[in-house]
């Protein structure tokens, strides 16, 4: 009888231990690494994350970005942006409110080098439709005049555009999508992840072995594999360059980064610009703005806001410059000059 009781107690103990292990695995399970690749915002993207719910986390990021892609499209008749451009006003969701607020801030910060109201000019060049052409000078002059008087007003959740104004979040959308991805991963307790949204890279935390992430900075020059490597964590590395989207006509190459002051592709001397910041939305917008501004104006902007970002500047003559805030994080096989405060 005693032996039977001992066996029964042992069986019950085994059941309790097994149940306990199952519960621990459910709530405190081993970390796994998951990766998701997908196509959105006209580019290939990937998210790699390590954590107890890594699979669910990367799937959530993919779904959120796919939704943003649809909602922010200037050509999708079902999107909120399309409706705003068509009607001149709309009730904005939280994504649009955030993007408009941040865009207006960066426009002021860069003296108009970044401007979401540039959509009519981008459309005239065919960069939003794929029907490329070189507009005539008088058309661009008229559009630039309209751009100078364009207004976007955000009152509460209502957005209103001045007559003839149309917006395009193309210069900031992937940066915001990166922010959304980081927030989702953080909410799901993911502490180590690498987000790559078509060259917009964000390193969340450190690698699983405790080391920093090494992010290569792409070179626009075919003779150089990459400009250098950044060793970072909890920062975005976002690059803009004329090589990303362009067309040729009459033996001339026209790229997609338009100078709002002229209506023509920016001709500031930049070949590529990389912005490094803990704020991916800002980094995306500034990478475009600095490409338009050129090195001298960009340096002045950085010196006034060095706590917010750093940048890497590669010019048409093959010269490479980096701001001193990332001098200990950047390494390169080619020579470079450090921009100091």
Give the tens place of pLDDT for each residue, 205-237: 999 999 999 999 999 887 678 999 999 999 999
Query: Is residue 18 predicted with pLDDT exceeding 70?
Result: no
pLDDT of 20: 47
Q: What is the distance between the alpha carbons of residues 142 and 148, in angstroms, rounded to a whole number?
A: 10
What tokens does 36 get? 């998701």
Q: How far is CA 134 from CA 102, 167, 169, in A?
A: 31, 21, 22
| Mean pLDDT value of segment 125-138 | 93
Tell me which residue has tokens 């003779």.
Answer: 223
pLDDT for the residue 1? 52
CA 53 to mean position of chain CA atoms:
24
Q: Is the pLDDT of residue 152 over 50?
A: yes
Q: What is the distance in angstroms between the CA of the first residue and the CA of the last residue of the chain? A: 86
Under 8 Å between Cβ of 304 and 317:
no
CA distances from 41 to 2, 38, 175 (A): 71, 10, 11
d(Cα 34, Cα 102) in Å, to the nearest integer? Answer: 32
Give 252's pLDDT tier (boundaries 50, 70, 90): very high
Q: What pLDDT, on the 0 to 100 scale, is given for residue 11?
A: 54
Q: In Å, what is the CA distance from 302 to each residue of 183, 201, 277, 299?
A: 26, 21, 12, 5
For range 104-115, the mean pLDDT: 98
If one counts every other C-beta atom within 10 angstroms of the C-beta of residue 24, the result is 10
* Average pLDDT of the segment spanning 169-191: 97
The whole-angstrom separation of Cα 126 and Cα 76 is 16
Longest dimension (CA), the chain: 103
How large is the average pLDDT for residues 286-309?
98
Tokens of 163: 């007559």
Question: By the 8 A CB rule, do 237 and 201 touch?
Answer: yes
Q: What are 17's two structure tokens? A: 């231990």
Domain residue spans in the chain?
73-161
pLDDT in tens, 48-82: 999 999 999 999 999 999 999 999 999 999 999 99
Structure tokens at 100: 């408009």
Q: Which CATH class is domain 73-161?
A: mainly alpha
Residues counted in the chain? 341
How far, in Å, CA of 272 to CA of 256, rounded? 13
Confidence at residue 30, expressed as pLDDT on a 0 to 100 scale: 78
26 pLDDT more than 80: no
pLDDT at residue 303 greater than cutoff 90 = yes
SS (H, E, C) 18-61: HHHHHHHHHHHCCCEEEEEEEEECCEEEEEEEEECCHHHHHHHH
Tell me what the pLDDT averaged over the chain comes to. 92
Question: What is the arithmetic mean of pLDDT over 7-22?
Answer: 53
The answer to whether 273 touches 291, Cβ cutoff 8 Å, is: yes
Give the rounded percent of residues in the chain with a pLDDT score beyond 70.
Answer: 91
Opening angle at CA 178, ends 103 and 298, nearest 5: 50
Residue 138 confidence (pLDDT) above 70: yes
User: 3-class DSSP state for residue 234?
Assistant: coil
What is residue 25's predicted lDDT score, i.e. its pLDDT? 43
Contact by Cβ (8 Å): 216, 239: no
pLDDT value at 86 more than 90: yes
Of 194, 236, 221, 209, which is closest to residue 329 (Cα–Cα)? 236
pLDDT band at 16 (very low <50, low <70, confident <90, very high): low
**DSSP 8-state code for residue 340:** P
- If we measure between CA atoms, which residue out of 106, 272, 283, 288 comes closest to residue 201? 283
> Which of 67, 69, 60 is closest to 36 using CA atoms?
60
């Amino acid at each position: 009888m005693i032996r039977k009781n001992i066996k029964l107690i042992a069986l019950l103990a085994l059941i309790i231990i097994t149940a306990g292990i199952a519960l621990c695995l459910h709530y405190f399970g081993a970390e796994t690494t998951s990766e998701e690749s997908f196509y959105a915002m006209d580019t290939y993207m990937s998210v790699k994350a390590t954590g107890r719910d890594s699979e669910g986390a990367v799937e959530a990021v993919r779904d959120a970005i796919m939704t943003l892609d649809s909602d922010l499209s200037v050509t999708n008749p079902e999107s909120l942006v399309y409706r705003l451009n068509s009607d001149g006003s709309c009730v904005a969701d939280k994504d649009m409110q955030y993007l408009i607020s941040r865009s207006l801030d960066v426009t002021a910060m860069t003296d108009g080098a970044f401007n979401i109201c540039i959509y009519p000019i981008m459309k005239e060049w065919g960069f939003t439709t794929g029907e490329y052409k070189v507009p005539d000078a008088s058309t661009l002059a008229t559009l630039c005049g309209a751009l100078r008087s364009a207004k976007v007003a955000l009152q509460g959740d209502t957005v209103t555009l001045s007559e003839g104004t149309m917006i395009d979040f193309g210069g900031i959308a992937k940066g915001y999508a990166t922010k959304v991805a980081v927030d989702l991963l953080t909410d799901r307790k993911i502490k180590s992840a690498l987000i790559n949204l078509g060259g917009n890279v964000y390193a969340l935390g450190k690698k699983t072995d405790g080391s920093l992430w090494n992010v290569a900075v792409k070179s626009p020059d075919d003779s150089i594999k990459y400009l250098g490597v950044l060793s970072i964590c909890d920062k975005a590395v976002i690059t803009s360059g004329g090589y990303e989207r362009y067309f040729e006509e009459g033996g001339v190459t026209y790229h997609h980064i338009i100078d709002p002051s002229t209506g023509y592709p920016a001709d500031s001397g930049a070949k590529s610009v990389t912005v490094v910041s803990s704020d991916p939305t800002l980094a995306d917008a500034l990478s475009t703005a600095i490409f338009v501004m050129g090195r001298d104006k960009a340096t002045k902007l950085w010196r006034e806001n060095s706590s917010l970002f750093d940048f890497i500047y590669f010019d048409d003559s093959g010269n490479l410059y980096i701001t001193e805030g990332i001098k200990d994080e950047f390494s390169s096989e080619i020579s470079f000059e450090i921009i100091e405060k």
